[in-house]
A = this chain, B = another copy of it.
Amino acid sequence: MNHPYTFDPLPQPVVERGEFAFAAIGLDHGHIFGMTDGLIGAGATVTWVFDDDPERAAAFAQRYPTARIASSEQEVLGDPDVRLVATAAIPSERAPIGLRAIEAGKDAFVDKAPMTTFAQLEAVREATARTGRKYAVYYGERIHAEAAILAGQLIERGAIGEVLQVVCFGPHRVGDGRPDWFYDPARYGGILCDIGSHNFEQMLYYTGAADGRVSTSTIANYAHPDTPGLQDFGDAHVILDNGTTGYVRVDWLTPDGLGVFGDGRTLLLGTDGYLELRKYIDIGTDNGSGQVLLVNQEAQYRFDANGMTGFPYFGQLIRDCLDRTETAMTQAHALKAAELSLQAQVGAITLAP
Protein backbone atom coordinates (compact mmCIF):
# COMPACT_ATOMS: atom_id res chain seq x y z
CA MET A 1 0.00 0.00 0.00
CA ASN A 2 1.24 3.52 -0.73
CA HIS A 3 2.47 5.19 2.41
CA PRO A 4 2.01 8.82 3.46
CA TYR A 5 5.52 9.41 4.83
CA THR A 6 8.35 11.65 3.69
CA PHE A 7 11.66 10.51 5.10
CA ASP A 8 14.87 12.32 5.92
CA PRO A 9 17.20 13.04 2.99
CA LEU A 10 20.16 10.70 2.61
CA PRO A 11 23.16 11.86 4.61
CA GLN A 12 26.05 13.48 2.77
CA PRO A 13 29.72 13.76 3.74
CA VAL A 14 30.11 16.32 6.50
CA VAL A 15 33.77 17.23 6.04
CA GLU A 16 36.17 17.82 3.18
CA ARG A 17 38.54 14.99 2.38
CA GLY A 18 41.48 15.20 4.79
CA GLU A 19 39.65 17.41 7.26
CA PHE A 20 38.97 14.65 9.82
CA ALA A 21 41.59 11.99 10.50
CA PHE A 22 41.00 8.87 12.54
CA ALA A 23 42.94 5.75 13.41
CA ALA A 24 42.08 2.09 13.96
CA ILE A 25 43.67 0.32 16.93
CA GLY A 26 42.67 -3.28 17.67
CA LEU A 27 41.08 -5.22 14.82
CA ASP A 28 39.98 -8.37 16.62
CA HIS A 29 36.36 -8.09 15.53
CA GLY A 30 35.32 -7.62 11.91
CA HIS A 31 33.11 -4.75 13.03
CA ILE A 32 36.17 -2.54 12.56
CA PHE A 33 35.39 -2.59 8.84
CA GLY A 34 31.85 -1.38 9.37
CA MET A 35 33.10 1.35 11.68
CA THR A 36 35.78 2.40 9.23
CA ASP A 37 33.52 2.28 6.19
CA GLY A 38 30.91 4.33 8.00
CA LEU A 39 33.35 7.06 8.95
CA ILE A 40 34.93 7.16 5.49
CA GLY A 41 31.49 7.36 3.92
CA ALA A 42 30.85 10.49 5.96
CA GLY A 43 34.08 12.10 4.78
CA ALA A 44 36.67 10.99 7.33
CA THR A 45 40.14 9.66 6.49
CA VAL A 46 41.78 6.75 8.24
CA THR A 47 45.44 7.67 8.65
CA TRP A 48 46.81 4.97 10.97
CA VAL A 49 46.25 1.36 11.88
CA PHE A 50 47.78 -0.58 14.71
CA ASP A 51 47.24 -4.17 15.77
CA ASP A 52 49.35 -6.64 17.72
CA ASP A 53 49.04 -8.94 14.73
CA PRO A 54 51.12 -7.41 11.88
CA GLU A 55 49.31 -9.45 9.25
CA ARG A 56 45.96 -8.12 10.36
CA ALA A 57 47.28 -4.56 10.30
CA ALA A 58 48.73 -5.11 6.83
CA ALA A 59 45.44 -6.45 5.51
CA PHE A 60 43.68 -3.39 6.90
CA ALA A 61 46.20 -1.04 5.28
CA GLN A 62 45.79 -2.85 1.99
CA ARG A 63 42.03 -2.34 2.17
CA TYR A 64 42.40 1.31 3.25
CA PRO A 65 45.54 2.68 1.56
CA THR A 66 45.39 5.99 3.46
CA ALA A 67 46.20 4.08 6.66
CA ARG A 68 49.86 3.82 7.61
CA ILE A 69 50.83 0.83 9.72
CA ALA A 70 51.97 2.05 13.12
CA SER A 71 54.74 0.26 15.00
CA SER A 72 53.00 0.89 18.31
CA GLU A 73 49.80 2.25 19.79
CA GLN A 74 51.89 5.15 21.11
CA GLU A 75 52.84 6.16 17.58
CA VAL A 76 49.15 6.60 16.77
CA LEU A 77 48.25 8.35 19.98
CA GLY A 78 51.19 10.71 19.59
CA ASP A 79 49.98 12.04 16.26
CA PRO A 80 48.14 15.32 16.97
CA ASP A 81 46.27 15.10 13.66
CA VAL A 82 44.36 12.02 14.82
CA ARG A 83 41.06 13.18 16.28
CA LEU A 84 39.32 9.86 16.83
CA VAL A 85 40.52 6.35 17.66
CA ALA A 86 38.31 3.48 16.55
CA THR A 87 38.71 0.06 18.13
CA ALA A 88 37.17 -3.36 17.74
CA ALA A 89 39.63 -5.10 20.02
CA ILE A 90 38.64 -8.03 22.23
CA PRO A 91 35.72 -6.66 24.28
CA SER A 92 37.60 -6.68 27.58
CA GLU A 93 40.36 -4.56 25.96
CA ARG A 94 38.12 -1.92 24.41
CA ALA A 95 37.83 0.30 27.48
CA PRO A 96 41.60 0.28 28.16
CA ILE A 97 42.30 1.31 24.56
CA GLY A 98 39.52 3.90 24.55
CA LEU A 99 40.70 5.35 27.85
CA ARG A 100 44.28 5.63 26.61
CA ALA A 101 42.96 7.44 23.54
CA ILE A 102 41.00 9.82 25.73
CA GLU A 103 44.01 10.49 27.95
CA ALA A 104 45.95 11.28 24.76
CA GLY A 105 43.35 13.92 23.94
CA LYS A 106 41.45 11.95 21.31
CA ASP A 107 37.84 10.91 21.12
CA ALA A 108 37.22 7.16 21.21
CA PHE A 109 34.88 5.11 19.06
CA VAL A 110 34.58 1.56 20.36
CA ASP A 111 32.76 -1.44 19.04
CA LYS A 112 30.00 -2.80 21.22
CA ALA A 113 30.14 -4.20 23.86
CA PRO A 114 32.00 -1.05 24.91
CA MET A 115 33.22 -2.62 28.15
CA THR A 116 32.91 -5.85 30.11
CA THR A 117 32.97 -4.76 33.78
CA PHE A 118 31.37 -2.16 36.01
CA ALA A 119 34.87 -0.96 36.94
CA GLN A 120 35.53 -0.16 33.28
CA LEU A 121 32.18 1.61 33.05
CA GLU A 122 33.00 3.79 36.03
CA ALA A 123 36.44 4.57 34.63
CA VAL A 124 34.90 5.61 31.32
CA ARG A 125 32.30 7.78 33.05
CA GLU A 126 35.01 9.44 35.11
CA ALA A 127 37.33 10.04 32.16
CA THR A 128 34.66 11.40 29.82
CA ALA A 129 33.30 13.71 32.51
CA ARG A 130 36.76 14.95 33.45
CA THR A 131 38.10 15.46 29.93
CA GLY A 132 35.01 16.19 27.88
CA ARG A 133 36.27 13.60 25.40
CA LYS A 134 33.86 11.16 23.81
CA TYR A 135 33.58 7.44 24.29
CA ALA A 136 31.27 6.72 21.37
CA VAL A 137 29.93 3.21 20.84
CA TYR A 138 29.25 1.37 17.59
CA TYR A 139 25.84 -0.13 18.31
CA GLY A 140 25.76 -1.32 14.73
CA GLU A 141 22.44 -3.19 14.83
CA ARG A 142 20.72 0.19 15.06
CA ILE A 143 23.05 2.87 13.73
CA HIS A 144 24.33 0.74 10.85
CA ALA A 145 21.08 -0.98 9.85
CA GLU A 146 18.73 0.93 7.59
CA ALA A 147 15.67 -0.96 8.83
CA ALA A 148 16.42 0.25 12.34
CA ILE A 149 17.01 3.82 11.17
CA LEU A 150 13.84 3.85 9.09
CA ALA A 151 11.90 2.63 12.12
CA GLY A 152 13.24 5.58 14.07
CA GLN A 153 12.07 7.96 11.37
CA LEU A 154 8.63 6.34 11.25
CA ILE A 155 8.30 6.68 15.02
CA GLU A 156 9.35 10.35 14.83
CA ARG A 157 6.53 10.84 12.32
CA GLY A 158 4.01 9.33 14.71
CA ALA A 159 3.43 6.17 12.69
CA ILE A 160 2.72 4.01 15.77
CA GLY A 161 1.93 6.66 18.40
CA GLU A 162 3.85 6.43 21.65
CA VAL A 163 6.27 3.53 21.83
CA LEU A 164 5.32 1.20 24.67
CA GLN A 165 7.61 -1.78 24.23
CA VAL A 166 10.74 -2.87 22.38
CA VAL A 167 11.30 -6.60 21.85
CA CYS A 168 14.48 -7.79 20.17
CA PHE A 169 15.64 -11.16 18.94
CA GLY A 170 19.33 -11.37 18.17
CA PRO A 171 20.21 -14.89 17.03
CA HIS A 172 23.75 -15.39 15.74
CA ARG A 173 25.71 -18.21 14.15
CA VAL A 174 28.87 -19.51 15.79
CA GLY A 175 30.42 -20.73 12.53
CA ASP A 176 33.98 -21.93 12.26
CA GLY A 177 37.30 -20.41 13.16
CA ARG A 178 36.31 -18.30 16.12
CA PRO A 179 39.26 -17.08 18.21
CA ASP A 180 39.90 -18.28 21.76
CA TRP A 181 38.42 -15.16 23.35
CA PHE A 182 35.06 -15.93 21.75
CA TYR A 183 34.72 -18.80 24.24
CA ASP A 184 36.00 -16.95 27.32
CA PRO A 185 33.33 -14.90 29.12
CA ALA A 186 35.99 -12.89 30.95
CA ARG A 187 37.09 -11.56 27.57
CA TYR A 188 33.88 -11.36 25.54
CA GLY A 189 31.89 -10.25 28.56
CA GLY A 190 29.05 -12.77 28.47
CA ILE A 191 26.28 -12.99 25.89
CA LEU A 192 24.03 -10.29 27.38
CA CYS A 193 26.94 -7.88 27.76
CA ASP A 194 28.28 -8.64 24.29
CA ILE A 195 25.61 -9.12 21.62
CA GLY A 196 22.88 -8.17 24.08
CA SER A 197 24.18 -4.62 24.36
CA HIS A 198 22.76 -3.79 20.93
CA ASN A 199 19.31 -4.45 22.22
CA PHE A 200 19.47 -2.50 25.46
CA GLU A 201 20.52 0.47 23.34
CA GLN A 202 17.48 -0.04 21.15
CA MET A 203 15.17 -0.21 24.17
CA LEU A 204 16.42 3.18 25.36
CA TYR A 205 16.43 4.71 21.90
CA TYR A 206 12.99 3.70 20.68
CA THR A 207 11.18 4.25 23.97
CA GLY A 208 12.99 7.52 24.65
CA ALA A 209 13.78 6.38 28.18
CA ALA A 210 16.79 7.75 30.04
CA ASP A 211 17.15 4.88 32.48
CA GLY A 212 15.77 1.48 33.37
CA ARG A 213 16.29 -1.60 35.46
CA VAL A 214 16.68 -5.24 34.54
CA SER A 215 13.82 -7.12 36.17
CA THR A 216 15.04 -10.59 35.23
CA SER A 217 17.68 -12.16 33.02
CA THR A 218 19.00 -15.62 32.24
CA ILE A 219 21.97 -17.18 30.47
CA ALA A 220 22.68 -20.75 29.40
CA ASN A 221 24.93 -23.02 27.42
CA TYR A 222 22.31 -25.33 25.95
CA ALA A 223 23.94 -26.83 22.91
CA HIS A 224 27.71 -26.33 23.05
CA PRO A 225 29.05 -28.69 25.71
CA ASP A 226 32.52 -28.71 24.11
CA THR A 227 32.92 -24.98 24.73
CA PRO A 228 31.52 -24.45 28.22
CA GLY A 229 32.52 -20.78 28.25
CA LEU A 230 30.18 -19.99 25.37
CA GLN A 231 26.87 -18.71 26.61
CA ASP A 232 24.69 -19.69 23.67
CA PHE A 233 21.49 -18.23 25.11
CA GLY A 234 20.53 -15.17 27.10
CA ASP A 235 17.43 -13.16 27.71
CA ALA A 236 16.44 -10.15 29.77
CA HIS A 237 13.39 -8.12 30.66
CA VAL A 238 13.78 -4.43 31.34
CA ILE A 239 11.44 -1.91 32.91
CA LEU A 240 12.28 1.56 31.62
CA ASP A 241 11.96 4.74 33.67
CA ASN A 242 9.10 6.07 31.54
CA GLY A 243 6.82 3.11 32.22
CA THR A 244 7.68 1.18 29.06
CA THR A 245 9.30 -2.25 28.81
CA GLY A 246 11.89 -4.12 26.83
CA TYR A 247 12.61 -7.77 26.27
CA VAL A 248 15.56 -9.31 24.47
CA ARG A 249 16.62 -12.80 23.59
CA VAL A 250 20.05 -13.37 22.10
CA ASP A 251 21.51 -16.70 21.14
CA TRP A 252 24.23 -18.51 19.19
CA LEU A 253 21.81 -21.07 17.80
CA THR A 254 21.18 -19.98 14.20
CA PRO A 255 20.57 -23.21 12.30
CA ASP A 256 22.45 -24.10 9.13
CA GLY A 257 19.32 -23.83 7.00
CA LEU A 258 19.18 -20.06 7.42
CA GLY A 259 20.95 -18.20 4.65
CA VAL A 260 22.27 -15.40 6.88
CA PHE A 261 24.03 -15.14 10.23
CA GLY A 262 20.83 -14.61 12.14
CA ASP A 263 17.16 -13.80 11.90
CA GLY A 264 17.43 -10.50 13.77
CA ARG A 265 14.09 -8.94 14.60
CA THR A 266 12.87 -5.91 16.43
CA LEU A 267 9.22 -5.55 17.42
CA LEU A 268 8.07 -2.09 18.40
CA LEU A 269 4.65 -1.80 20.01
CA GLY A 270 3.01 1.59 20.11
CA THR A 271 -0.27 3.05 21.28
CA ASP A 272 -1.43 3.32 17.65
CA GLY A 273 0.31 0.54 15.79
CA TYR A 274 3.39 -1.60 15.65
CA LEU A 275 6.54 -2.12 13.63
CA GLU A 276 8.37 -5.33 12.91
CA LEU A 277 11.92 -5.18 11.56
CA ARG A 278 13.16 -8.26 9.73
CA LYS A 279 16.66 -6.94 9.55
CA TYR A 280 18.72 -9.56 7.75
CA ILE A 281 16.21 -11.99 6.25
CA ASP A 282 12.45 -12.35 5.83
CA ILE A 283 12.15 -16.11 6.27
CA GLY A 284 10.13 -18.02 3.74
CA THR A 285 10.40 -15.20 1.16
CA ASP A 286 12.84 -13.72 -1.34
CA ASN A 287 12.34 -10.22 0.07
CA GLY A 288 15.92 -9.95 1.27
CA SER A 289 17.13 -7.87 4.18
CA GLY A 290 15.93 -4.59 5.59
CA GLN A 291 12.22 -5.36 5.69
CA VAL A 292 10.17 -2.98 7.81
CA LEU A 293 6.55 -3.93 8.39
CA LEU A 294 4.18 -1.34 9.78
CA VAL A 295 0.62 -1.88 10.93
CA ASN A 296 -1.22 1.12 12.31
CA GLN A 297 -4.69 2.62 12.53
CA GLU A 298 -4.67 3.25 8.76
CA ALA A 299 -3.32 0.13 7.09
CA GLN A 300 -0.49 -2.38 6.73
CA TYR A 301 2.69 -1.25 4.98
CA ARG A 302 5.92 -2.91 3.97
CA PHE A 303 9.14 -0.96 3.37
CA ASP A 304 12.38 -2.22 1.92
CA ALA A 305 14.75 0.02 3.84
CA ASN A 306 17.76 -0.69 1.64
CA GLY A 307 18.98 2.62 0.27
CA MET A 308 16.27 4.61 2.05
CA THR A 309 18.12 6.12 4.99
CA GLY A 310 21.87 5.72 4.73
CA PHE A 311 23.72 5.95 8.04
CA PRO A 312 23.49 9.44 9.49
CA TYR A 313 25.24 8.42 12.71
CA PHE A 314 28.74 8.63 11.25
CA GLY A 315 28.52 12.17 9.92
CA GLN A 316 26.87 13.26 13.14
CA LEU A 317 29.69 11.68 15.14
CA ILE A 318 32.33 13.46 13.06
CA ARG A 319 30.55 16.79 13.50
CA ASP A 320 30.15 16.09 17.22
CA CYS A 321 33.91 15.55 17.48
CA LEU A 322 34.62 18.77 15.60
CA ASP A 323 31.88 20.90 17.14
CA ARG A 324 31.82 19.31 20.63
CA THR A 325 28.11 18.58 20.30
CA GLU A 326 26.09 15.40 21.04
CA THR A 327 23.82 14.87 18.06
CA ALA A 328 24.83 11.32 17.07
CA MET A 329 24.20 9.80 20.49
CA THR A 330 24.61 11.27 23.95
CA GLN A 331 27.39 9.93 26.15
CA ALA A 332 24.80 9.21 28.84
CA HIS A 333 22.71 7.12 26.46
CA ALA A 334 25.65 5.09 25.13
CA LEU A 335 26.83 4.28 28.64
CA LYS A 336 23.36 3.64 30.05
CA ALA A 337 22.87 0.94 27.42
CA ALA A 338 26.16 -0.59 28.51
CA GLU A 339 25.15 -0.35 32.15
CA LEU A 340 21.91 -2.24 31.49
CA SER A 341 23.91 -4.87 29.59
CA LEU A 342 26.23 -5.32 32.56
CA GLN A 343 23.32 -5.43 35.00
CA ALA A 344 21.60 -8.10 32.91
CA GLN A 345 24.81 -10.09 32.62
CA VAL A 346 25.94 -9.91 36.24
CA GLY A 347 22.46 -10.60 37.58
CA ALA A 348 21.61 -13.41 35.18
CA ILE A 349 20.29 -16.71 36.40
CA THR A 350 22.26 -19.55 34.83
CA LEU A 351 19.88 -22.13 33.41
CA ALA A 352 20.84 -25.78 33.29
CA PRO A 353 19.40 -27.87 30.48
Considering only CB atoms and an 8 Å cut-off, how many residues of chain A contact the other chain?
Answer: 53
Q: Binary interface profile of A, 246-284, with partner B (CB < 8 Å = 1, else 0)?
A: 010101010111110001000101011110100000011
Contact A162 B299, CB 8 Å, known A223-B271, A274-B255: no
Most buried by B among A258, A267, A295: A295
A295 touches B257 (CB 8 A): yes
Distance of A10 from chain B, by nearest CB (Å): 25
Q: Which residues of B contact A171 (CB under 8 A)?
A: 274
Contact A253 B237, CB 8 Å, known A162-B353, A293-B284, A351-B245: no
B253 touches A271 (CB 8 A): yes
Whole-angstrom CA separation of A298 from B257 in the bound complex: 5
B233 touches A164 (CB 8 A): yes
A296 contacts partner chain B, Cβ-Cβ < 8 Å: yes
B296 touches A273 (CB 8 A): no
A243 touches B220 (CB 8 A): yes
Q: Which residues of B contact A255 (CB under 8 A)?
A: 272-274, 295-297
Whole-angstrom CA separation of A268 from B253 in the bound complex: 12
B245 touches A247 (CB 8 A): no
Q: Which residues of B contact A128 (CB under 8 A)?
A: none
Q: From A251, which residue of chain B is reached at the shortest CB distance?
A: B269
Q: Which residues of B contact A233 (CB under 8 A)?
A: 164-165
A218 contacts partner chain B, Cβ-Cβ < 8 Å: yes
A182 contacts partner chain B, Cβ-Cβ < 8 Å: no
Chain A, range 275-328, C-beta contacts under 8 Å to B: 276, 283-284, 293, 295-302
B297 touches A293 (CB 8 A): no
Q: Which of B222, B239, B299 contacts A218 (CB 8 A)?
A: B239
Whole-angstrom CA separation of A286 from B230 in the bound complex: 41
Q: Can you report 13 A-B residue pairs in the complex whose CB atoms are below 8 A from each other? A: A169-B267, A171-B274, A218-B245, A223-B271, A243-B351, A244-B351, A245-B351, A256-B298, A257-B298, A263-B274, A283-B293, A284-B301, A284-B302
